Amino acid sequence: MAVVHHYEWSVTRWFTSPTREALDAAGRGIYRDLLDVCYTQGAIPSDHEILARMCRASSEEFERAWNVIGSHFKRHSKDASALINSHANVFRNDYFRYIREQKSRGASGGTATGKRKRSKINDKESAGCSESPATAENICSQHDTTRHDTIEHDTIRAALPDSSVISGTEGEPPPAAADPDRLAWMRKSLEDFPNSPPGRPDAQICQRALEATHGASLERIGDVLLRLHRRGDRPRSWGFFPEVLRRELAGGP
């Protein structure tokens, strides 16, 4: 199976998980190890002795933990000797689908929008026209403006604290192309939201919900979802959910 080298881990979901609460310290370590293997490798062996050795646990420790976590691992449809985790499977499918789409776009020379822009540029060059006369005065003016904008941008960026540059909670919103890990995390979070509206969130809703957070950290988004759950808030539809997230993040801590 293809290997994933990293994935987003929700601290909020982990610490509020009923499964984690039912495990002792050894069981929590075993559960985390098995989840990591499912996310990165795709599956784990079904043999308990092998799993116990993988987790460096005794047979007693493993069996005690498995009585709690066993229901979270299902038999692989194509390999009777392997087990999968449904959340890890969704993440891996979304992740590798995104990789395939990016490779396909790269092989075709970019997106349709990029092709249209290049076509317009080629049309202008063929017609022998430009946006403005290429005089020495215009060239110098454009050069000075570009230099000023670059210096100003670098000065502002240097003045920002590292956290705001990383999280994207200040300044310009993040680009529209969502990180596949964040998108997969959002999809799972919305599907598992206890107070969810009828139906299931589609890919467009998940994308809009992620854009509505304006680059907020996943931990903060998880806190907002937990707060909505505890208050018993239920958005009237999935289409309205991104706006609920945006308002909650704007007015939250």
In-domain check, residue 106: no
In-domain check, residue 117: no
Share of the chain above pLDDT 90, in %: 26
Which regions of the chain are under pLDDT 70? 1, 108-178, 195, 233-236, 251-253
Q: Which pLDDT belongs to residue 163?
A: 34
Q: Which pLDDT belongs to residue 65?
A: 97
Q: Which pLDDT belongs to residue 133?
A: 43
Q: Which pLDDT belongs to residue 30?
A: 97
Instruction: For residue 197, give both structure tokens.
Output: 């509206």
Q: Which pLDDT belongs to residue 159?
A: 37
Q: Which pLDDT belongs to residue 81?
A: 92
Q: Which pLDDT belongs to residue 129?
A: 44
In-domain check, residue 141: no
In-domain check, residue 146: no
Rounded Cα–Cα distance for residues 119 and 80 (Å): 53
Range of the domain at 219: 180-251
Residue 95: which H helix or E strand, with range? helix 86-107
Which residues have C-beta within 8 Å of that of residue 229, sequence separation ≥ 6? Answer: 193, 194, 195
Specify the CATH number for the domain of residue 24.
1.10.10
Q: Which pLDDT belongs to residue 177?
A: 54
Q: Which pLDDT belongs to residue 223?
A: 81
Q: Which pLDDT belongs to residue 120?
A: 61
Domain-terminating residue out of 92, 127, 146: 92
Q: Which pLDDT belongs to residue 179?
A: 78
3-class secondary structure, 47 = coil
